[in-house]
Amino acid sequence: MTLYTLNSILYTRHSPSYTLHSTLYTSHSTLYTLDFTLHTLRFTLHILDSTLQTLHHTLHSTLYTLHFTLHTLHFTLYTLHSTLYTPHSTLHALHSTLYTPHCTLYTSHFTPYTLHFILYTLHSTLYTPHSTLHTLHSTLHTLHSTLYTLHSTLHTLYFTLYTLHFTLHILHCTLYAVYFTLHTLHSTLYTPHFTLYTPHFILHTPDFAIHPLLHSTVYRVYSALVRYQGKHVQDCSNNLFHKSLKVFYVTAFGFVGCILFSSSQPSKYSVH
């Protein structure tokens, strides 16, 4: 009983310590986990710091190189500026010198500008009738195109007729050549014809002298016969001779003559 009691007493005393130990162990575990987390975060920050240091160093080197390059370029430009300053001063002095005649020319330019404005106003005033005339010109141009087309058509017709005329002219020349050949032949044949006509005229002259006398004699015989026979003779002559009477005779030179008597016109006659 004594040991059990002692053991109970000791357990009772040891139990708070165990509880405290458990609490402390739990707190230690929590702190250890927190410490590990912080250690991991510190390592991550260290790596980030190293990366930033490297980036900073690289950027600083790049900027330093760029700064040195710009400084060199600035020095070069400054030297060039110093070199160009002298001709700039000279040109500035020349500009000051030329400014006075420039002002004079500007004043003289203002006078033509006023005249130009007046002429521009006049041009604007004249533009309206010009536009009207331009419209009229366009209308006349259209009419001219129409007339030109008609002229081209008439010219084509004229050329066709001229070609026909030229063809007919060639035919006329050909026929004229034939006519001239026949005329030459006729002139050639006219000479013996005229030579024969002279003795023919000489032989024919007595026939014209005898023919009227013979005609007058026959006509008097016919008139006496009509008066003697009366109507009976006239009817016989109508039936036999169809109201006409032909009297043939032969002249002394071999020409045949014919005298035609009609009841209505007994004076007609012909010579063959």
Q: pLDDT tens for residues 97-111?
A: 888 888 888 888 888
Say what the pLDDT of residue 253 is: 44
User: pLDDT for 158-194, tens place per residue?
Assistant: 999 999 999 999 999 999 999 999 988 888 887 776 7
**3-state SS class at 153:** helix
In a domain, 19, yes or no: no
List beta partners, residue 259.
Answer: 247
**Domain presence at residue 221:** yes
Full-model pTM:
0.28
Task: Confirm whether 243 is domain-assigned.
Answer: yes
Average pLDDT over residues 146-169: 94
- Is residue 251 in a domain? yes
Domain with 254, as residue range(s), is 203-271
Which pLDDT band, with edges at 50, 70 and 90, does 217 fall under?
Answer: low
Domain membership flag for residue 173: no
CA proximity to 173, closest of 165, 162, 163: 165
List, in sequence order, every residue forming a beta bridge with 20; answer none if it has no partner: none
Asked whether residue 266 is assigned to any structural domain, the reply reads yes
* Coil vs helix vs strand at 73: helix
Q: Which residues contact 238 (CB under 8 A, 6 or more apart)?
A: 263
Task: Quote the number of domains for the chain.
Answer: 1
Task: Tell me if 9 is assigned to some domain.
Answer: no
Task: Give the pLDDT score at 96.
Answer: 87
Q: Which of 45-49, 62-66, 263-267 has the lowest mean pLDDT?
A: 263-267
Q: pLDDT (tens digit, 9 = 90+) per residue, 64-91?
A: 999 999 999 999 999 998 898 888 888 8
In the predicted model, is pLDDT for residue 157 greater than 70?
A: yes
